Copies of this chain bind each other. A is one copy, B any other.
Amino acid sequence: MKSLEEKTIAKEQIFSGKVIDLYVEDVELPNGKTSKREIVKHPGAVAILAVTDEGKIIMVKQFRKPLERTIVEIPAGKLEKGEEPEYTALRELEEETGYTAKKLTKITAFYTSPGFADEIVHVFLAEELSVLEEKRELDEDEFVEVMEVTLEDALKLVESREVYDAKTAFAIQYLQLKEALQAQK
């Protein structure tokens, strides 16, 4: 098998921000020619599919400036430097929703946009939830509204495009699959 690898010839940092950095790299292609790659560096993130004992999903409504609209997502947040994803997941669940979880299980992880970004999202299932007595503070530029929805409601939110992002679409489909596999037994 021939290698598909692209070797870096030159690398320029265009931007360094509070969330992302941007680089442009000159690369040598497998056929020896050269091209440019635009690369966004991101610290990585976690997303939490939190399900109550009654089977309701905890979701957050949030304005997303890149989309210029409000959408409904599962709770999520960026990894801080040196943080283990499990720790971040529990922190973000607590900050965004006021719930905590006794049971946290890794479902999967995936890159969101491998063509131009290195962002990875670690997805967790949070169960055995309880309401925190003392609410944790959100980041000072974060504003969310917490919702509890059934799987049926969640599917309606997908249909009406109120749920409109990859991690949440994946998480809802995950619950659908779980339910379908249980029904088979």
Q: How far is the CA of A39 from the CA of B6 in the complex (A)?
A: 27
Closest to A40 in B: B40
Closest to A70 in B: B4
| A47-78 with Cβ < 8 A to chain B | 61-67, 70-71, 73, 76, 78
B165/A4 in contact, CB under 8 A: no
Name the contact of A38 in the complex, choosing from B20, B111, B117 (C-beta under 8 A): B20
A1/B145 in contact, CB under 8 A: yes
Q: How many residues belonging to A are interface residues under a CB distance threshold of 8 Å? A: 73
Secondary structure of the A contact surface, majority rule: mixed
Closest to A77 in B: B115
B113/A4 in contact, CB under 8 A: no
A165/B112 in contact, CB under 8 A: yes
In the complex, which residues of chain B have a beta carbon less than 8 angstroms from the beta carbon of A177?
173, 176-177, 180
Q: How far is the CA of A140 from the CA of B62 in the complex (A)?
A: 40
| A1-39 with Cβ < 8 A to chain B | 1, 4-6, 14-15, 17-20, 22, 24-25, 27, 29-31, 33, 35-39
